[in-house]
Amino acid sequence: MNDTPRQATRLEAIGGRFDPWLLGAMLALASLGVVMVASASIYQHGNPFYYLIRHGMFLVAGAGLAWWVTRTELKSIEARNHLLLLGCVVLLLLVFVPGLGVSVKGAHRWINLGVSNFQVVEVVKVFFIVWLASYLVRFRDEVNATWAAMLKPLGVVVLLVALLLMQPDFGSSSLLLAITAGMLVLGGVNMPRMFGPVLVGLPILAVIAIAEPYRMRRLTSFSDPWADPFGSGYQLTNALMAIGRGEWSGIGLGGSVLKLNYLPEVHTDFIFSVIGEELGFVGVCVVVALYALLVGRAFVIGLRCVEMRRHFAGYVAFGVALWIGMQSFVSMGVNLGLLPTKGLTLPLISSGGSSILMTCVAMGLLLRVSYELERTQRQVALRGEALQTTPSGGVRAPVDAASAAPQPAPSLSEKLRGTSRLRARVEPTFERIA
Where does 150-285 show beta strands of DSSP type E?
none
Residue-level pLDDT at 258: 84
Residue-level pLDDT at 408: 53
Residue 340 shares a structural domain with residue 374:
yes
What pLDDT band is residue 47 in, cutting at 50, 70 and 90?
Answer: confident
What pLDDT band is residue 386 in, cutting at 50, 70 and 90?
Answer: low
Which residue, among 283, 240, 246, has the nearest Cα to 262 in the 3D structure?
240
Residue 374 shares a structural domain with residue 302:
yes
Residue 418 lies in a domain: no
pLDDT value at 415 more than 90: no
Cβ–Cβ < 8 Å for 202, 432: no
The arithmetic mean of pLDDT across residues 377-394, rounded, is 66
Phi, psi of 301 (to 5 degrees): -65, -40
**Amino acid (one-letter) located at 407:** Q
Question: Element (H or E) spanning 107, and its range?
Answer: strand 107-112
Which residue, among 392, 388, 389, 390, has the nearest Cα to 1 in the 3D structure?
392
The arithmetic mean of pLDDT across residues 392-420, rounded, is 48
Residues 6+ apart with CB under 8 A from 155: none
Structure-model confidence comparison of residues 210 and 285, the more confident one: 285
Residue 359 lies in a domain: yes
358, 383, 408 - which closes a domain: 383
Which residue, among 55, 61, 29, 28, has the nearest Cα to 267 in the 3D structure?
55
Residues 6+ apart with CB under 8 A from 192: none
Domain that holds residue 228: 32-71+212-383
Residue 399 lies in a domain: no
Residue 236 shares a structural domain with residue 136:
no
pLDDT value at 68 more than 60: yes
Residue 185 shares a structural domain with residue 267:
no
Residue 224 lies in a domain: yes
Which of 18-32, 132-146, 322-336, 376-390 has the weakest average pLDDT? 376-390
What pLDDT band is residue 395 in, cutting at 50, 70 and 90?
Answer: very low
The arithmetic mean of pLDDT across residues 280-296, rounded, is 95
Residue 372 shares a structural domain with residue 232:
yes
Structure-model confidence comparison of residues 139 and 116, the more confident one: 139
- State pTM to two decimals: 0.85
Cβ–Cβ < 8 Å for 121, 169: yes
Residue-level pLDDT at 372: 92
Residue 206 lies in a domain: no
Which of 136-150, 344-358, 418-432 has the weakest average pLDDT? 418-432
158, 190, 222 - which closes a domain: 190
Question: Element (H or E) spanning 217, and its range?
Answer: helix 213-223
Residue 52 shares a structural domain with residue 93:
no
Most confident of 76-85, 142-151, 343-352, 414-423: 76-85
Residue-level pLDDT at 419: 44
Q: What is the CA radius of gyration of the chain?
A: 24
pLDDT value at 424 more than 50: no
Residue 292 lies in a domain: yes
Integer CA distances (angstroms), 3 to 113, 305, 392, in order: 57, 30, 8
Residue 39 lies in a domain: yes
Residue-level pLDDT at 422: 38
Q: Please, what is the average pLDDT of the chain? A: 82
Residue 263 shares a structural domain with residue 349:
yes
Residue 304 lies in a domain: yes
**How far is 166 from 208, CA to CA, in rounded Å?**
12
Count other C-beta atoms under 10 Å from residue 375's C-beta.
15
**How far is 162 from 4, CA to CA, in rounded Å?**
57
* 3-class secondary structure, 95: coil
Number of domains in the chain: 2
The arithmetic mean of pLDDT across residues 313-324, rounded, is 96
Residue-level pLDDT at 84: 92
Instruction: State the number of CA atoms in the 13 A half-sphere of 294 facing the CB.
Output: 31
Residue-level pLDDT at 341: 77
Residue-level pLDDT at 347: 93
Residue 89 shares a structural domain with residue 60:
no
pLDDT in tens, 231-262: 778 888 888 898 999 889 889 888 888 888 78
Integer CA distances (angstroms), 89 to 127, 136, 318, in order: 10, 20, 23
**How far is 150 from 250, CA to CA, in rounded Å?**
48
- The pLDDT > 90 percentage for the chain reads 42
Residue 139 shares a structural domain with residue 237:
no
346, 362, 383 - which closes a domain: 383
What pLDDT band is residue 13 in, cutting at 50, 70 and 90?
Answer: low
The arithmetic mean of pLDDT across residues 382-397, rounded, is 57
What pLDDT band is residue 263 in, cutting at 50, 70 and 90?
Answer: confident
User: Largest Cα–Cα distance of the chain, in whole Å?
Assistant: 85
The arithmetic mean of pLDDT across residues 57-72, rounded, is 94
**Burial of 199 by CB count in 10 Å (0-12 exposed, 13-18 middle, 19+ buried)?**
exposed
pLDDT value at 389 more than 60: no
pLDDT value at 208 more than 80: no
Residue 277 shares a structural domain with residue 330:
yes
Residue 375 shares a structural domain with residue 282:
yes
Indicate if the alpha-carbon torsion angle 203, 206, 210, 216 is positive or negative. Answer: negative
Residue 265 shares a structural domain with residue 373:
yes
Parallel/antiparallel/unpaired status of strands 107-112 and 101-104? antiparallel
